[in-house]
């Protein structure tokens, strides 16, 4: 694995774990922008790493994680506009 994919996968995992820890510790709510941003960025980085290395299972997992997070962003912003 090339250094770029190693860095992307490490940082992506740290971002997702930081968001999850913040949620469990009560620092974030499920629609907090920092939480959503950490999830989106982390999952996108892991998706890049999985795509580059051809890991189909992780492509599916991280692609779904990105889509679910986009849904969270849309839900949050629709709540603000109403």
pLDDT in tens, 61-76: 999 999 999 999 999 9
pLDDT less than 50: residues of the chain: none
Total domains in the chain come to: 1
Q: State the pLDDT at residue 81.
A: 77
pLDDT score, position 14? 98
Which residues span the domain enclosing 64? Answer: 3-81
By the 10 Å C-beta count (0-12 exposed, 13-18 middle, 19+ buried), 28 is classed as buried
Q: What is the pTM of this model?
A: 0.90
E strand residue ranges, the chain:
none
């Amino acid at each position: 694995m090339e250094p770029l994919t190693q860095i992307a996968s490490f940082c992506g995992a740290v971002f997702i774990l930081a968001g999850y820890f913040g949620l469990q510790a009560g620092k974030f709510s499920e629609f907090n922008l920092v939480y959503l941003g950490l999830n989106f960025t982390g999952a996108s980085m892991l998706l890049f790493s999985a795509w580059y290395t051809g890991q189909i299972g992780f492509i599916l997992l991280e692609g779904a994680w990105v889509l679910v997070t986009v849904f969270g962003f849309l839900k949050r912003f629709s709540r603000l506009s109403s």
